[in-house]
A and B are shown apart, each in its own frame.
Chain A
């Protein structure tokens, strides 16, 4: 089954404790991206990657890191999480980027205390 998977689905952590949210797709897509979704602000892009070793900032990259060492994986790293990074995070992939259909993962709900 073609899908985008994210882990963990739910995470509660404390300020400053480094964490990684994994994202993997099995569709051989070149384009992958991370979004956060917040009430009143909608979906905002954090980072995106056009291909292996090629990443670029989205609208809200501060406090986040990404890497794209393999085509299928695109982890999101929070080196020192803060409460304002409490949000719902989505990973997405598409064959060659928008406007091609982006396939979204199920989401990761992160709470930083």
Chain B
């Protein structure tokens, strides 16, 4: 069983839709949680990270962590065609340790 499970999609939505991307994990030692965005033929880039359960908002993006359920989500409001990319969740146990990524969800936002 993978430590981090992520629905690979693909997910296709119309412009302006609210998008929900999700990951579940099995390792209760994970302390911090991150979302990376990867455009086609590019390396991933960090979108958001959080340590604690609850919500963290940054513009149109909201990261949500529920440690009791071992479940994290990324919400994208008012989605734009420029949001079309693969979104990867990632998590780790302690600072500086190895990072474990989900498989990635491929998102397409149609104009």
A residues adjacent to B (C-beta < 8 A) = 4, 31, 33, 35, 40-45, 48, 50, 56, 58-59, 90, 92, 96-99, 101-107
Contacts and interface: CB of A to CB of B under 8 A. Distances in A.
B71 to A, nearest CB: 18
Interface of B: 6, 8, 32, 34, 41-46, 49, 51, 88, 90, 92, 95-104
B29 to A, nearest CB: 14
A27 to B, nearest CB: 14
B101 A102 contact: no
Contacts of B104: 42-43
Contacts of B97: 97-98
Contacts of B96: 31, 50, 96-98
Contacts of B99: 33, 45, 98, 102
Contacts of B49: 99, 101
Contacts of B102: 42
A34 to B, nearest CB: 11
Nearest to A97: B96
A35 to B, nearest CB: 8
Contacts of A33: 98-99
Given A35-B101, A98-B97, 18 more contacts: A31-B96, A33-B98, A40-B103, A41-B103, A42-B101, A42-B104, A45-B98, A50-B96, A59-B100, A96-B96, A97-B96, A98-B32, A98-B90, A98-B92, A98-B96, A99-B32, A99-B49, A106-B43
Contacts of B95: 96-99
Contacts of B34: 98-99
B50 to A, nearest CB: 9
Nearest to B104: A42
Given A90-B44, A106-B43, A40 B8 contact: yes
